[in-house]
Structure 1
Amino acid sequence: MDIESKDDLLWYFAYGSNMSVAKFSGSRGIIPLNATPVFIPGWVLLMEIPGLPYSEPSFSSIRRRMQDDLEVLHTPDVSGVAYLITAKQYQHVVASEGGGIAYCDIEAVGTRIDDGSSVRLRTLGSAMNRSPCPRPSERYMGLLQQGAKDAKLSMEYCQYLEDLPTYQPSSSTWHRLGAIIFLNIFRPLMALMEEITTTNIKEDGNAPRWVIAIVRFTVFVIWATHDWIFTPVFGRGDGLNSFD
């Protein structure tokens, strides 16, 4: 079905854990009208959305490939699944991904893997980012890897996801102590921010500006505390080097 023939329908590009149709339909409660594997030429996957250090340091996003960007020089074009859904369902996707706090709505042109035809896509890109990119948790990467397999993406792309480095907590007792202290302080705070966001989501799927400002400031404080207080004392919680 051509999305341009139906104003209420669009193709949503899932490149993260939503690549699994079972998860997308189950946890999101969205039954797509159609699904097809696609890739976006000239766009790459990055783990640049800041999460919670020592636990879930980062989450995935996409951006255009830059010629001088050494970080993604040899990475493949991002692949994923295009779901044909309604505009209302897409608003639900936006709400479930934080209501415009960490992600923003973007448009791109993808290529269907099965027949090479083009498809206009809506998806979520970075509204917040951290550079260099923290490493994602094994749990989170496992969701992407399984989603790619469920979507029957190319073996090369699945292997690329398998090879991405993940956050490995240190075996050091001192480092683990720091992680426990940090998470006991900030995990409840993040849970509170999620509750505030969820209860104030607007009809279009986005959070109010005041909520966005509060949550982004909270994330800034969390990472500033990690960088300037906990890292010098206990070691990094973003996986960018080893404490040992």
Structure 2
Amino acid sequence: MTDTHSRQPELVWYLAYGSNMSSAKFTGGRGIVPLDTVRVRIPGWILAMEIPGLPYSEPSFSSIVPRTCIEAVVEKCATPDLVGLAYLITQDQYRHVLASEGGGTAYRDISVRGEALEAEDSQRIGHPILLRTLATAMRRQPWPAPSRRYKDLLVQGGEEARLPPKYQQYLSEMACYNPPDAQWTKIGAFIFTTMWGPVMAFLEWITGISIQEDGNALPCVILLVRWTMFIIWASHDYLFAPVFGRGDGL
């Protein structure tokens, strides 16, 4: 007789802390329908805007770091423990999440322990809960500010997920990058984004076509992306920022 239980897909709890908290992004954009959803807190971890993006446009994206690693970056007392959504999904769906988040170029797969915000959820799923999520594999320090567009995604995701009011306030008060008002800086921003924007688009394309079964891009592509991002930010730091003004919100 066939063991039907052995054919059931392995399930994981995936922690979403950024734009994936929005159902429009996670279910609509990524096409993933979770089997269960729980609001969770991750003690000892905080939100970190340390994934480098494109200066003058999308300077940074969110990640998470242990609180013990942030003394020189942010005020520990002013930064709350990470709060997000835990989605119960299959391993195949989690690999799809990894692939859609850069295939290992900027993020790496980690496990963290969290706790449900609601007592009934804690009783139902256990305490603590082991979560899989994506953390920093390519970082920028000091942290650039996120764009207004990206910050709004975080705020909207927090509102939709009905995260605690204080955490929603923390997200809404986060500093963001505002496009320059000075004409000279606008010129520099236009030159920079015109030069590097197509390169970023190419990196996204080549990453997408090189995704393997485990959700990661080919190692050579990961190396190419990271070195190119290093060059992009070096051109900002040593050429454009001194001449035109910074494009990272710092």
Cα 1:89–1:224 change in 2 (3 A) is same
Structure 1 segments of 4+ aligned residues over 4 angstroms from their partners = none
Counterpart position of 2:44: 42
Q: Give the TM-score, by structure 2 length.
A: 0.92
Counterpart position of 2:247: 237
Q: Distance in 2 between matches of 1:114 and 1:138?
A: 31
1:59 Cα offset (Å): 0.2
Q: Distance in 2 between matches of 1:24 and 1:193?
A: 22
Secondary structure (helix, strand or coil) at the match of 1:125 reads: strand
Match of 1:76 among 80, 84, 90: 80
Percent identical residues = 55
Counterpart position of 2:3: none
Which residues in structure 2 correspond to 1:120-199 (within 5 Å)? Answer: 120-199=130-209
1:22 Cα offset (Å): 2.8
Cα 1:68–1:153 change in 2 (3 A) is closer
Q: Which runs of 5+ in 2 are unaligned?
A: 1-7
Q: Which runs of 5+ in 1 are unaligned?
A: 1-5
Cα 1:206–1:67 change in 2 (3 A) is closer
Instruction: String of CA shifts for 1:174-208, please: whole Å, max 9, x gaps.
Output: 00000000000000000001100000100110001
Counterpart position of 1:220: 230
Secondary structure (helix, strand or coil) at the match of 2:12 reads: strand
Cα 1:210–1:174 change in 2 (3 A) is same
1:28 Cα offset (Å): 0.5
AA paired with 1:106? I
AA paired with 2:82? V
190-199 vs 6-15, which moves further: 6-15
Cα 1:127–1:72 change in 2 (3 A) is farther
1:169 Cα offset (Å): 1.7
Counterpart position of 1:119: 129
Q: Distance in 1 between matches of 2:164 and 2:59?
A: 27
1:7 Cα offset (Å): 6.8
Q: Distance in 1 between matches of 2:139 and 2:75?
A: 15
Counterpart position of 1:203: 213
AA paired with 1:237? G
1:20 Cα offset (Å): 1.2
Instruction: Give the conservation status (yes or no) of the 8 Å contact 1:44–1:72.
Output: no
Q: Distance in 1 between matches of 2:223 and 2:196?
A: 18
Secondary structure (helix, strand or coil) at the match of 1:160 reads: helix
Cα 1:80–1:175 change in 2 (3 A) is same
Q: Distance in 1 between matches of 2:225 and 2:10?
A: 31
1:67 Cα offset (Å): 7.0
Secondary structure (helix, strand or coil) at the match of 1:35 reads: strand
Cα 1:157–1:216 change in 2 (3 A) is same
2:92 equivalent to 1:88: yes
Match of 1:102 among 97, 102, 106: 106
Instruction: String of CA shifts for 1:100-126, please: whole Å, max 9, x gaps.
Output: 000000000011001153211000000
Q: Distance in 2 between matches of 1:193 and 1:80?
A: 29
How many residue pairs end up in the alignment? 235
Instruction: String of CA shifts for 1:69-91, please: whole Å, max 9, x gaps.
Output: 15141200010000000000000
Q: Distance in 2 between matches of 1:20 and 1:50?
A: 22
